[in-house]
Amino acid sequence: MNIGIVGLGLIGGSFAKAYKQQPGNTVYAFDTDQAILDFAQIDGDVDGVLNKDTIKLCDCILIALYPQATIDYLRENAQLIAADTVVIDCCGIKRIVCEECFAIAKKHGFTFVGGHPMAGTQHFGFKYSRATLFKGASMIIVPPRYGDIVFFDHIKQLLEPAGFGRITITDADKHDKIIAITSQLAHIVSNAYIKSPTASEFKGFTAGSYKDLTRVAWLNEEMWTELFMGNKDNLIDEIDFLINSLNEYRDALKEGNNQKLKKLLADGRIQKEKVDGR
Which CATH number is 188's domain given?
1.10.3660.10
Produce one character per residue of 188-205: b if its CB has 16 or more CB atoms within 10 Å, e if not: bbbbeebeeeeeeeeeee
**Of 170, 186, 203, which closes a domain?**
170
Backbone angles phi, psi at 86, to 5 degrees: -105, 125
Q: Which residues contact 139 (CB under 8 A, 6 or more apart)?
A: 115, 116, 117, 118, 159, 162, 164, 166, 167, 168
SS3 132: coil
- 154 and 33, same domain (yes or no): yes
pLDDT band for position 53 (50/70/90)?
very high
- 20 and 144, same domain (yes or no): yes
Quote the pLDDT of residue 107: 97
- 201 and 252, same domain (yes or no): yes
Note the residue count of the chain.
278
Domain count, the chain: 2
- 153 and 193, same domain (yes or no): no
CATH number at residue 40: 3.40.50.720
SS3 166: strand
- 129 and 183, same domain (yes or no): no
SS3 128: helix
- 158 and 52, same domain (yes or no): yes
Quote the pLDDT of residue 160: 96
- 122 and 207, same domain (yes or no): no
What tens digit of pLDDT does each residue of 206-218 get?
Answer: 778 888 888 889 8
Quote the pLDDT of residue 49: 97
* Residue 51 region by backbone torsions, left for phi larger than 0, else alpha for psi between -120 and 50, else beta: beta
What radius of gyration, in Å, describes the C-alpha atoms of the chain? Answer: 21
What tens digit of pLDDT does each residue of 99-130 get?
Answer: 999 999 999 999 999 999 999 877 789 999 99
**pLDDT reading at 202 higher than 80:** no
Quote the pLDDT of residue 210: 85
Instruction: Please answer whether residues 143 and 151 qualify as being in contact, where contact means their C-beta atoms are separated by less than 8 angstroms.
Output: yes
- 149 and 220, same domain (yes or no): no
Q: Torsion angle, CA of 68/78/130/181, rounded to 10 degrees?
A: 40
- 182 and 206, same domain (yes or no): yes
Domain that holds residue 253: 175-276
Share of the chain above pLDDT 70, in %: 100
**156-170, 202-216, 264-278: which is most confident:** 156-170
Q: Is the dihedral of CA 226, 59, 164, 106 positive or negative?
A: positive
Nearest in space to 57 (alpha carbons), one of 40, 89, 37, 80: 80
What is the number of alpha carbons within 13 Å of residue 209 lying toward its C-beta? Answer: 3
Classify residue 55 by its DSSP letter.
G
**Of 110, 138, 170, which closes a domain?**
170
**Of 120, 139, 170, which closes a domain?**
170
Instruction: Please answer whether residues 67 and 42 qualify as being in contact, where contact means their C-beta atoms are separated by less than 8 angstroms.
Output: no
Quote the pLDDT of residue 208: 81
Quote the pLDDT of residue 212: 87
- 29 and 166, same domain (yes or no): yes
- 33 and 137, same domain (yes or no): yes
Give the Cβ contact number of residue 109 at 10 Å. 13
- 201 and 129, same domain (yes or no): no
Quote the pLDDT of residue 200: 79
Q: Torsion angle, CA of 90/178/147/108, rounded to 10 degrees?
A: -40
